[in-house]
Chains A and B, each alone.
Chain A
Amino acid sequence: GQNIDQPTEMTATEGAIVQINCTYQTSGFNGLFWYQQHAGEAPTFLSYNVLDGLEEKGRFSSFLSRSKGYSYLLLKELQMKDSASYLCAVRNSNYQLIWGAGTKLIIKP
């Protein structure tokens, strides 16, 4: 089967750095996405990786290793507004999106 694994919940301190991991097993690979979802709201796009390596976008970076079936989302200089769920999704060879259950990130002052 196809599956995406990510931690259910993480806690971090305001101003710190947190890394959210995502491992995947899918039928082929055509890109990996990270979305942010605040409680009660719609998911919004954060990042897209299709090649190995690090993609940096402001305080957020996303890393991909296709050979290991692994990605992480790195959030720096955490702010209270970063409290949200972070969803990892992989597009397989049939261009279907397979979604992880999300990681709820709690930021403490």
Chain B
Amino acid sequence: IAGITQAPTSQILAAGRRMTLRCTQDMRHNAMYWYRQDLGLGLRLIHYSNTAGTTGKGEVPDGYSVSRANTDDFPLTLASAVPSQTSVYFCASSDRGGSGANVLTFGAGSRLTVL
């Protein structure tokens, strides 16, 4: 089934630990995104990549890093987790280009708890 796969589904980790959230898509979309979703707030963009080999900072990039070595994979790394990074993380992709809707397809999410 075409779509986005995220791993892990959920994780509890101690503050100060390093954590990588994995994201893989099989739709050959050129753009990929990482969002966090917190209660009472809209989705907030952490980092994005318009095409393989390029990345950019979103609204809340501090404490996170990404890489885009190929079209399919877009991992998100927390170098040293802090409790404020407790959230649900969604990876998304879109076939960016032209003036169309460029609808986002989301992964199922990764629920991260930092203690």
Contact = CB atoms under 8 A, between A and B. Distances in A.
Interface of A: 4, 31, 33, 35, 41-45, 48, 50, 87, 89, 96-102
A31 B101 contact: yes
B87 to A, nearest CB: 14
B101 A48 contact: yes
Given A31-B101, A48-B101, A42 B41 contact: no
Contacts, number: 40
Contact of B103 (A41, A48, A98): A48
Contacts of B104: 35, 43, 45, 97
B41 A101 contact: yes
A43 B90 contact: yes
B53 interface: no
* Chain B interface SS verdict (over half): loop
Interface string B36-49: 00001111110000
Given A31-B101, A48-B101, A42 B42 contact: no
22 contacts: A4-B42, A31-B101, A33-B103, A42-B107, A42-B108, A43-B104, A43-B106, A45-B103, A45-B104, A45-B105, A48-B101, A48-B103, A87-B42, A87-B43, A89-B42, A96-B45, A97-B45, A97-B104, A99-B42, A101-B40, A101-B41, A102-B42
Which secondary structure characterizes the binding site on chain A? Answer: strand
A1 B72 CA distance: 34
